[in-house]
């Protein structure tokens, strides 16, 4: 199941480059599709899915075979052994194939990833301690409706400096699981200080009255 998950994720992220996610580019191992000229199929992930499906079939057969035993005798042991050995071989071979011929040679398309991240409404969550939930929701809805980056809309709506907002909405910092303020300063805004932070104009470099030192 894990191999199917990995292979399908690679297929989806590779889909495109125009209409799909197009976040990565897998090595082109096939000259073209038999249906559409010029199309490159993700043949290694597809082969991985088929091999994993075969192993699941083997597992089902082994399970049923194991249930057919009577007392101390099970006449299906040859089937169990054959399926188990073939499953081991399939998984070992396809795992190496997926790693060496697909994952090792994939290329990330940073411009496509950045475009998706910049417009992702989830970034607004980082602004909740500063501008509140309602204004954050309004920014997310406006950015989605207008097809604009969240940062661009947040600058217009909040009036906070672009440098401050860029730090707060940095996906690399947010992905580490801590708020940008906590990661850099070891403090966070209290609910009472949230409204004052907007008035101060710059949370990151503002005076002490703009922040509340609360243990994290």
Q: What is the pLDDT of residues 116-170, one digit of tens each?
A: 888 888 889 888 888 889 999 999 999 999 989 999 999 988 888 888 888 888 8
Looking at the domain 2-109, which fold is it?
A: Fumarase C; Chain A, domain 2 (1.20.200)
Q: What is the pLDDT of residue 181?
A: 53
| Geometric angle at alpha carbon 14, from 124 and 110, rounded to 5° | 50
Instruction: Lowest mean pLDDT of 59-68, 69-78, 117-126, 195-204, name the range.
Output: 195-204
Residues of the chain with CATH 1.20.200.10: 2-109
Residues of the chain with CATH 1.10.40.30: 119-210
How much of the chain exceeds pLDDT 70, in percent? 80
Q: What is the pLDDT of residue 182?
A: 52
Summarize pLDDT for 43-54 with one digit per residue, the tens.
Answer: 999 999 999 999
Instruction: Classify residue 40 as left (phi > 0), alpha (psi -120 to 50) or beta.
Output: beta
Looking at the domain 119-210, which fold is it?
A: Ribonucleotide Reductase Protein R1; domain 1 (1.10.40)
Mean pLDDT, residues 92-103 taken together: 95
Cα 71 to Cα 3, 16, 68, 80, distances in angstroms: 36, 56, 10, 17
Cis ω before 68 (30° cut-off from 0): no
Instruction: Using the predicted structure, report yes or no on whether residue 198 has a pLDDT greater than 50.
Output: no
Name the residue among 107, 139, 96 with its Cα closest to residue 120.
139
């Amino acid at each position: 199941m894990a191999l199917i998950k990995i292979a399908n994720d690679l297929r989806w992220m590779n889909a495109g480059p125009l209409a799909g996610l197009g976040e990565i580019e897998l090595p082109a191992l096939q000259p073209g599709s038999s249906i559409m000229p010029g199309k490159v199929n993700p043949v290694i992930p597809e082969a991985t899915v088929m091999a994993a499906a075969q192993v699941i079939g083997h597992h089902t057969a082994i399970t049923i075979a194991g249930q057919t035993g009577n007392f101390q005798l099970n006449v299906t042991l040859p089937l169990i052994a054959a399926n188990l050995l073939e499953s081991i071989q399939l998984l070992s071979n396809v795992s190496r194939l997926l790693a060496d011929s697909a994952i090792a040679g994939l290329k990330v398309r940073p411009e496509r990833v950045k475009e998706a991240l910049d417009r992702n409404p989830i970034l607004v969550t980082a602004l909740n301690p500063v501008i509140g939930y309602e204004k954050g929701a309004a920014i997310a809805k406006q950015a989605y409706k207008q097809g604009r980056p969240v940062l661009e809309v947040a600058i217009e709506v909040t009036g906070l400096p672009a440098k401050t907002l860029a730090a707060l909405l940095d996906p690399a910092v947010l992905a580490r699981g801590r708020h940008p303020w906590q990661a850099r300063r070891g403090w966070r805004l209290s609910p009472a200080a949230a409204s004052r932070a907007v008035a101060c104009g710059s949370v990151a470099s503002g005076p002490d009255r703009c922040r509340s030192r609360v243990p994290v």
